[in-house]
Amino acid sequence: MSIELKTPDEIEIMAKAAKLVAETLQALKKEIRPGITTGELDRLAEDFIRSRGGVPAFKGYRSYPNTLCASVNEQVVHGIPSKRALRQGDIIGLDLGAIVEGFYGDSAVTLAVGTIHPKAAELLRVTEEALNKGIEQAVVGNRLSDISHAIQRHAEAAGFSVVMDFVGHGIGRQLHEDPQVPNYGQPGQGPRLQVGMVLAIEPMVNMGGSGVRILEDRWTAVTQDGSLSAHFEHTIAIQPSGPARILTKL
> Nearest-CB residue to ligand MF3?
64
* Cβ 104 vs Cβ 57: under 8 Å: yes
Helix or strand holding residue 221 (H, E): strand 221-223
Q: Identify residue 171 by its one-letter amino acid code.
A: I
DSSP 19-80: HHHHHHHHHHHHH-STT-BHHHHHHHHHHHHHHTT-EESSTTGGG---SEEEEETTEEE-PP
Q: Between the CA of residue 105 and those of 54, 101, 102, 114, 175, what are the distances in Å?
A: 10, 11, 10, 28, 8
Which CB atom, from 98 or from 193, has the smaller least distance to ligand MF3?
98
Which parts of this chain interact with Co ion (CB under 5 A)? 106, 200
Calculated CA dihedral for residues 223, 132, 17, 121, nearest 10 degrees: 50
Q: How far is the CB of 62 from ligand MF3 (least distance, A)?
A: 6
**Which of 4, 5, 23, 64 touches ligand MF3 (CB under 6 A)?**
64
Q: Is 234 in the site for ligand MF3 (CB under 6 A)?
A: no
Cβ 95 to ligand MF3 shortest distance, Å:
5
Please, what's the b/e burial string for 195-215 (b: 16 or more CB within 10 A of its CB; e: otherwise)? ebbbbbbbbbbbbbebebeee
Task: Candidates 34-42, 62-70, 186-194, 210-218: pick the segment binding ligand MF3 (CB under 6 A).
Answer: 62-70
Pick 37 or 180: Cβ nearer Co ion? 180
Residue 146 binding target from Co ion, ligand MF3, none, CB below 5 to 8 Å by type: none
Task: Tell me whether residue 42 or residue 106 sits nearer to Co ion (CB atom).
Answer: 106
Contact 197, 178 (CB under 8 A): no
Q: Which of 78, 149, 154, 245 binds ligand MF3 (CB under 6 A)?
A: 78
Among Co ion, ligand MF3, none, what binds residue 42 when CB lies within 5 to 8 Å by partner kind?
none
- Is residue 232 a contact residue for ligand MF3 (CB under 6 A)? no
Shortest CB 107 distance to ligand MF3, Å: 8
Question: What is residue 100's three-state secondary structure?
Answer: strand
The single residue among 28, 69, 80, 197 that binds ligand MF3, judged by CB under 6 A, is: 69
- Does residue 106 interact with ligand MF3 by CB under 6 A? yes
Residues binding ligand MF3 (CB under 6 A):
58, 61-62, 64, 69, 78, 95, 106, 108, 169, 200, 202, 233
